[in-house]
Amino acid sequence: MRLAALTALVMLAFAANSVLNRMAVAAGDIGAVEFAIVRLAAGALVLAALVVLRGREWPRKLVHGATVAGVAGLLVYLFGFSLAYGRLDAGTGALVLFGMVQVTMFAGALLLGEVVPGRRWAGAALAFCGLLVLVAPAGGGWAGFAAMAAAGVGWGIYSLAGRGARDALAATAGNFVLALGPGVMIALVVGVDLAGATARGVGLAVVSGAVTSGLGYALWYAVLPALGAGRAAVAQLTVPLIAALGGAALIGEAVGVRFAIASALVLGGVAWASLPKAASQGDG
């Protein structure tokens, strides 16, 4: 039950990132690249402070748990995510993101030799069908889909890289801190104009970076070893539903009967895939 509660909290943080990004970028309060770099900087600052306050040696121990895959995956995810939300609504963007995350993490599970039971494949398929019901037909154009698909691959790699982390907080802080330098360079090359951002846009980016990203990702790294790659991929399929609901409540994005049908399919699929082996029949 504790694992389930912590996983649910992480999923809420992930969905909040979609809504916060959409609220800021789509409204024109801040540019996509600017949102990504402020989000990264805020996350790095908060996580570094927590590691230092906990008594870790500075700066060598701060980046001790970081990995090349974690830093690269984080950068691809952050910039792809922000760029996509200028075109896609919260639910649609989250669908593409976590659909690609599922593909990446299931592939990673197989490559790493993890046994993925047949019920988990079936549950994931049922949940994904529900997501298709939720967002079809989806707008936003190919550019938005491509950016979010790249973000999904990046997040899948980031999640797989965190499975072996011995210290979730230190590993997350290290990834954010080491990603900040390359992130700033990318932003400068692409073009960044924080002077044109509003206080609201910067504030939303800071909350996304410091709270729902930094702290949320540290918790994610903490629960990943217990979940395994396959179940983690399936659990994240709930995020588009939460994001769609948040988008409806806070931004006025429409939901209806299709949302209710999709909810039943997705949550049913996740429940099926997450059942212990002894509680299911016909496990492959």
Q: How far apart are CA 180 and CA 191, in angstroms?
A: 16
- Are the beta carbons of 269 and 121 closer than 8 angstroms? no
pLDDT at site 134: 67
Sequence-separated (6 or more) residues with CB below 8 Å from residue 162: 70, 168, 171, 172, 220, 221, 224
Give the pLDDT score at 276: 60
Contact between 187 and 30 (Cβ < 8 Å):
no
Query: For 81-90, 233-242, 252-261, 275-284, which range has the lowest pLDDT when averaged over its residues?
Result: 275-284
Q: Cα(284)–Cα(277) distance, rounded to whole angstroms?
A: 10
Question: Does 172 score more than 60 pLDDT?
Answer: yes
User: Regarding predicted confidence, which is higher, 234 or 205?
Assistant: 205
Looking at residue 284, what is its pLDDT?
Answer: 40
Inter-helix orientation angle 2-25/68-84, to 10°: 50
How would you label 173-188 residue by residue, b for 16+ Cβ within 10 Å and e otherwise? bbbbbbbbeebeebbe
- Token pair, residue 27, equals 């409204």
What's the average model confidence in pLDDT over 227-254? 84
Q: What does the alpha-carbon distance between residue 9 and residue 12 come to, in Å, rounded to a whole number?
A: 5
Please tell me the predicted confidence (pLDDT) of residue 60.
64
